[in-house]
Chain A
Amino acid sequence: MSIGTSDATAAHEEVTGPVIEGRSPWALAFSRLRRDKVAMLSLAIIIVIVVVALLSPLFSAITGHGPNEQYHTANALTPAGLPRGPSGEFWWGTDDLGRDVLVRTVYGARISLLVGVLATALTVAIGVIVGLASGFLGGIVDTVLTRFIDVILSVPFILVAVSLVSIVGPSLSITVLVIGFFSWASVARIVRGQVLSLREREFVEAARSLGSSDSRIMFIDILPNVLSQVIVYTTLLIPVVIVVQATLSFLGLGLPPPTADWGGMINEAQSYYTVAPWFIAFPGAALVITTLAFNLFGDGVADAFDPRTDRLISQ
């Protein structure tokens, strides 16, 4: 008895050849993203910044200046001890201690990107796990975790950061931990909300009726359905984290001197901005361009995951 013949629609589509592959939602989003010019330009800028950060020793080699070396020559500082503007030797000028602003800005990109990526990864990892557990398991787990989220969101972040750093001392890892610890709550909230609606869908019941365990349902059935939101949020979180890191450095809570980082450089430059505008302009511009590029790229990613974008573009 051939059951297959009763279905007229399925059988006659073999013209396309043996391999019939549905395009995954990811592939569709990626193809939309590739058509978004602003996002692609932002991505190009981000790639340039990443390459520059990776190759920062090369800048040091070309100019012959180390990032923390102080030059007391006539080219570096005026006789009065003030920074000198851009010149053949110091392309972006010098700072108040006679250091090369270009080399320091380039090295600063490493810190910003490193903290941006690490702290965001930590934030998202905690947020996703807490959100999944809280939304899917419900009950007492959910009550405890949501109250904890409320507490985290109501703690004044800068005050805690200031006191914490003054106790344990500034370092890269404490910066990452502090940012991660205070940012996951909003990710967890987004994920939890999504999971709450997803777990009522019939495919979760179907998985259960097949004998799936809770953790399998959480990570194999539900997680892929929240991933697009998480990715959008992640790309928009990186610039926020970079700015927060710069803010902490500006307040003297970043990395211990003489390490070059953008927030710290802006802090050092603020008393010289009338006599040495380049000193504040270059790290400032680097910070603005980086965060802008990440933000625009994040917007592009958000649009790419929104199925309505196709229609908007074609109009």
Chain B
Amino acid sequence: MTGTTTAQSQDNTGSDEPLLRLRGVKKHFPVQSSALIRGEQEYVHAVDGVDLDVRRGETLGLVGETGCGKSTLARCIARLYDLTEGTIELDGRDISTLSRREMRPLRREIQMIFQDPYGSLNPRRRVGSIIGEPFAIHDIGSRRERKKQVQELMELVGLNPEHYNRFPADFSGGQRQRIGAARALALKPKMLVCDEPVSALDVSIQAQLINLLADLQDELGLTYVFITHDLSVVRHISDRIAVMYLGKVMEVAPVEELFETSRHPYTRALLSALPVPDPDLADRREQIILVGDMPTPVHPPSGCRFHTRCPKAQPDCAEVVPPLEKAKDDDSADHLTACLYPMDPDERLSRARATVADSEIVADDSALGGVS
């Protein structure tokens, strides 16, 4: 039911193994309920069956609304969370069930940059010891060698190496993100998971940090999973983009293909929110305003997750979980869509009429068990 077999048609195209391969990844969090008498434990279906490949040296952008599970997915990839179900393969090796101790040597390969430049650095430690922490944990080099390496890292990310002895409080938000990047790069990872690394920064600083990350990628041959809700950022930096909604991937495609011929109504709606600089073009463009809020991930809708808000939902959208697969013949092999009624480029979503029954629109508790 999770679509493991249908999902990845790109596997047989290239000879190169993907660096990271996710299959049916699920993460459910138990809901803390105050009622002791309540027998049944409920779960937040934060990530609910994600299949994705990340290839060597590429940047995969992961976009979606707040609460769609993209940060949870990032933490699953970095193995900060244990998976509820599914597998994560790094370099062909299944890392999804490794214990923390077994995971430790693999930490060198996969690192993370966090969203909050204030929360992600320990305020009581000097920058030198923060960036040198990976060396201390993995017991690499003598004290003097470490200091030299830390200063090289600081130079690499554009910090003054002489600020080695300062505290995080002495730096600006953008500089702190550079410190976070230096720390993540210390172990020379193959892959960096960036969890909204620029969303807490000023726009002018965002550009600096994104360019830094792009330069580092060229220089060190890094692979990025880049999470953001900012579509213009993701368009600038990504090779491919995956769109998430309520814990599932709705559409994956190379950047330009996604922006030009998106197949999924949700992607279309998301892209229509992107500001267009040309006012004439903006007037002619279709604005799609989705009705209602995202349903609760505790009781996700049956069938296609998006059918409760989809302008062109049909009755079977509420019953069949659409597999993530190539939607139309003229799509490239990399363009996968999870939709029963994929859209044509000139189709107007605002003219569509949903024919799904009203009772289906409201998330149905009884459907909970059947969805996977």
Contacts and interface: CB of A to CB of B under 8 A. Distances in A.
B175 A10 contact: yes
A211 B138 contact: yes
Contacts of B159: 7, 10
A216 B216 CA distance: 30
A20 B127 CA distance: 12
B80 interface: yes
Contact of B124 (A6, A212, A224): A224
B158 A3 contact: yes
B75 to A, nearest CB: 8
Nearest to A201: B119
B239 interface: no
B183 interface: yes
B146 to A, nearest CB: 14
A238 B28 CA distance: 48
Interface stretch (B44-52, B207-215, B298-306): B207-215
Interface stretch (A11-19, A104-112, A244-252): A11-19
A7 B211 contact: no
Given A1-B215, A6-B212, A11 B160 contact: yes
How many A residues are at the interface, by size bracket? 35 or more
A212 B114 contact: no
A225 interface: yes
How many B residues are at the interface, by size bracket? 35 or more
A3 B124 contact: no
B121 A3 contact: no
Contact of A22 (B158, B166, B208, B219): B166
A64 B175 CA distance: 69
Max count, chain A CB within 10 A of own CB: residue among B122, B169, B175, B215 = B122
Interface string A265-276: 000000000000
Interface stretch (B104-112, B249-257, B288-296): B104-112
Contacts of A13: 160, 163
Interface in A12-66: 13-14, 18-25
B184 to A, nearest CB: 8
Given A202-B114, A209-B111, A24 B167 contact: yes
Nearest to A207: B133
Interface in B150-188: 155-160, 162-167, 169-170, 172, 174-175, 178, 180, 183, 187
Contacts of A212: 133, 137
A221 interface: yes
B212 A14 contact: no
A208 interface: yes
A209 to B, nearest CB: 5
Max count, chain B CB within 10 A of own CB: residue among A6, A9, A209 = A209
Contacts of B212: 3, 6-7
A225 B215 contact: no
A206 B181 CA distance: 11
A156 interface: no
Contacts of A221: 122, 125
Contacts of B219: 1, 3
B107 A210 contact: yes
Given A1-B219, A10-B158, A202-B116, A20 B134 contact: no
Contact of B80 (A21, A23, A209, A213): A209
B137 A216 contact: yes
B162 A9 contact: no
B237 to A, nearest CB: 15
B158 A4 contact: yes
A150 interface: no
17 contacts: A3-B158, A3-B215, A5-B158, A7-B174, A7-B175, A10-B160, A10-B163, A14-B160, A22-B169, A23-B167, A25-B124, A201-B119, A202-B116, A202-B119, A206-B121, A210-B137, A210-B183
Interface of A: 1, 3-7, 9-11, 13-14, 18-25, 201-203, 205-213, 216, 221, 224-225, 227
Q: Which 9 A-B pairs have the closest CB atoms?
A: A22-B166, A7-B158, A211-B107, A202-B120, A202-B119, A224-B124, A22-B167, A21-B165, A211-B104
Given A4-B158, A25-B123, A211-B103, 7 more contacts: A3-B215, A22-B163, A22-B169, A206-B114, A210-B134, A210-B187, A221-B122
